[in-house]
A and B are shown apart, each in its own frame.
Chain A
Amino acid sequence: MTGRGIVLLALCGALLLAAPMVADRYVLSVLTTVLWFAYVGQAWNVMMGFSGLLSLGHALYVGLGAYASAALFVHFGIGPWAGMWVAMLAATAAGCFIGFLGFRFGVRGVHFALLTIAFAEVARIGFDHLQWFGGSGGFFIPVAGDAGNDLLNLRGSPELFYYVILALVLAALALSRVLLHSRLGYQWLAVREEPEAAEAVGVDLFRARIAAVAVSSALTALGGVFQAFYFNNLFPEQVFSMGRSIEIILPAIVGGIGTLIGPILGAFILTPLGEVLTFLIEATGFDLPGLKQLFYGVALVVIVVYRPDGVWPWLAARLGLVRRRGEDA
């Protein structure tokens, strides 16, 4: 990254840190949503972007993380900082199981993507019938009221949640960067580009792929923990839905698959775009169900036709933020 890029990035970071001082409740809630999608997009990117494994069922890991931490809190009074380890463990176990089945039996490409969908759908239907988790009627975490900020139990003001998710995004960004420049990261890129060649030079394909799934699902589960405590309600129909899985992957796709900044940039494009659209639709009184989603579909087609590598690689090159193509990491 060039000096200009670093300055700009630092500036954006500072703006995000200072945002709660100027932003009102609405803007803060939008920013929190943006950062949440940036975070889970970053987590998904580890699988698709770094290792070339297309997962269309990431809602599964969000949901497992959310339900595990919420159930521990409600049923046993175990707070999220302890519960998140169980959440990560549950999601990683599920991810490794799917990965094991897929990679062990040579399930590749489209088939692997379908396997991930299948497991997310199984979880959706399953959780609909698990009464310990509230079933289809939903699972609720009691709202704390105005007892002040309690970081320990993740109960409190919107500012608290904002800083928690901001910290998660920065941590995920740092971790992704470290991983990408580690031995494992180079193995991932090799596996993504040329599996046969990677295997020929001694990369253990199975281990590299399982590692990617494990990291990705564990990170995604943390996003689920945050979601559970931020919204205080969980419904299988929403949490595990395929629509949710698709929402998770869009920021990374729009921003740029396999780049570090891509998922964050994508989230900052998509969520505000949705808000503006909602506002415009309401202001013009042209309120038809499906109009907003229709526009999303058009945006998706336009982006994949004209910017198949995502917005970030193109933008970075235009603004002179990176030295040359592909070196933005």
Chain B
Amino acid sequence: MPFDYYLNIAASGLLTGLVYGLAALGLSVIFGVVRVVNFAHGEMMVAGMYGAVLLASLLGLDPILAAPIVAAVLFAFGWLLQRGLVNRFVERPEHMQFILLLGIATIILNAMLMLFGPDSRNVMVPYSFDTVEIGPLLLDAVRLRAGAGAIVVTVALFAFFRFSRTGKAIRACADNPLGARVVGLNIDGLYALTFGIGAGVVGIAGALMTLLVDSRPQLAPEYTLLSFIIVIVGGLGSLPGALLGGMLIGFSEAMAGFLLDPSLKSLFSYGVLIVVLLLRPQGLLGKRS
């Protein structure tokens, strides 16, 4: 039945989109608080992918179990990066922040190229070829788990920002850095923490992504652009927006790949981006600044 086809493709696109959304969430958190666009985001994501690949081949660890370890490493990296370099650029013009992060992205990307080579690596899990039947849907087990993982992390992130004291402090920083400083918050520390969280989140997204695609260094710029698209479509700084944008892009990619030509799928993402920038520049769920 053709309708079932569409339903299945839509569902698998939405599940992949959840992982995209998680990656974009990391970007959104960093931008929303530190006001710096992390141009090395895709590079960090692919670093997370290689982390999971390495843990799988050395210890035989499932990428889902590897995700927390990868997140911890990338958190430390992001924290140090913000403390060491990015922090002195917070007050500088946008184009300088961009150049700094572009330099960092180039370094990460080529370091990975030197360490792992240009060939793709994949992760084998026992359930690689399993499918799960839900009503008319026939879903890949890997995709289902990756999507579920993305949802769990997103919910945890929401809870952190809404209920924990540190999360509230970070939100205060985002709303009004000067005011936050006046009431005695350690802005630099919170910025570093935020950058670390953003990097950790995109690391988890990378680890989950290894379930769906093979790891190659060349994916990095693609994922950077994809995260940008999603964040802008969803609304810069809006966490639900990032998730919604991710699902929308995942859906449109899957549909374009199925209906037209897989090589045209990113054309659709850019199309969505251009339309959103023109009709609703603050993004679907963003607030007008």
Contacts and interface: CB of A to CB of B under 8 A. Distances in A.
Interface string A301-325: 1001100100000000000000000
Contacts of B104: 297, 301
A118 B117 CA distance: 28
Interface stretch (A20-28, A212-220, A265-273, A286-294): A286-294
Contacts of B278: 101, 105, 107
B100 interface: yes
A4 interface: no
B125 interface: no
Contacts of B100: 300-301, 304-305
29 contacts: A54-B95, A54-B98, A101-B274, A101-B278, A105-B281, A107-B277, A114-B232, A114-B273, A115-B274, A117-B225, A119-B274, A125-B267, A128-B263, A242-B225, A246-B102, A253-B99, A257-B95, A288-B114, A289-B114, A289-B118, A290-B111, A290-B114, A294-B107, A294-B110, A297-B109, A298-B107, A300-B103, A304-B99, A304-B103
A129 B118 CA distance: 26
Nearest to A293: B110
A207 interface: no
Interface in B162-199: none
A109 interface: yes
Given A110-B94, A300-B102, 20 more contacts: A54-B95, A105-B281, A111-B277, A111-B281, A114-B273, A121-B225, A121-B270, A122-B267, A129-B261, A243-B221, A289-B114, A289-B117, A290-B110, A294-B106, A294-B110, A297-B104, A299-B103, A300-B100, A304-B103, A308-B92
B85 interface: yes
Interface in B65-114: 85, 88, 92, 94-96, 98-100, 102-107, 109-114
B228 interface: yes
Main secondary structure of the interface of A (DSSP, over half): helix
A305 B85 contact: yes
B207 to A, nearest CB: 23
A273 to B, nearest CB: 14
A253 B94 CA distance: 13
A323 B273 CA distance: 47
A187 B85 CA distance: 34
A113 B101 CA distance: 15
Interface of B: 37, 85, 88, 92, 94-96, 98-100, 102-107, 109-114, 117-118, 217, 221, 225, 228-229, 232, 261, 263-264, 266-267, 270-271, 273-274, 277-278, 281
Contacts of B273: 114, 118
Interface of A: 48, 54, 56, 101, 105-107, 109-111, 113-115, 117-119, 121-122, 125-126, 128-129, 242-243, 246, 253, 257, 288-291, 293-294, 296-301, 304-305, 308
B232 A297 contact: no
A107 B118 contact: no
Contacts of A300: 99-100, 102-103, 106
Contacts of A105: 277-278, 281
Contacts of B99: 253, 300, 304
Contacts of A114: 228-229, 232, 273, 277
Given A114-B228, A125-B267, A129-B264, A106 B281 contact: yes
Main secondary structure of the interface of B (DSSP, over half): helix
Contacts of B217: 290
B37 to A, nearest CB: 5
A54 B113 CA distance: 29
Given A54-B98, A105-B278, A128-B263, A118 B270 contact: yes
Nearest to A109: B94
A49 B114 CA distance: 35
Contacts of A54: 94-95, 98
Contact of B106 (A107, A129, A297): A297
A110 B37 contact: yes
Nearest to A112: B277
A11 B124 CA distance: 64
Contacts of B88: 305
Given A242-B221, A305-B85, A291 B94 contact: no
A237 to B, nearest CB: 11
Given A54-B94, A54-B95, A298-B103, A125 B114 contact: no
Contacts of A129: 261, 263-264
B264 A125 contact: yes
Nearest to A253: B99
A183 to B, nearest CB: 25
A265 to B, nearest CB: 17
B228 A296 contact: no
Most chain B beta carbons < 10 A, residue from A110, A288, A300, A305: A110
Nearest to A117: B225
B35 to A, nearest CB: 10
Nearest to B107: A297
Most chain A beta carbons < 10 A, residue from B104, B105, B110, B114: B110
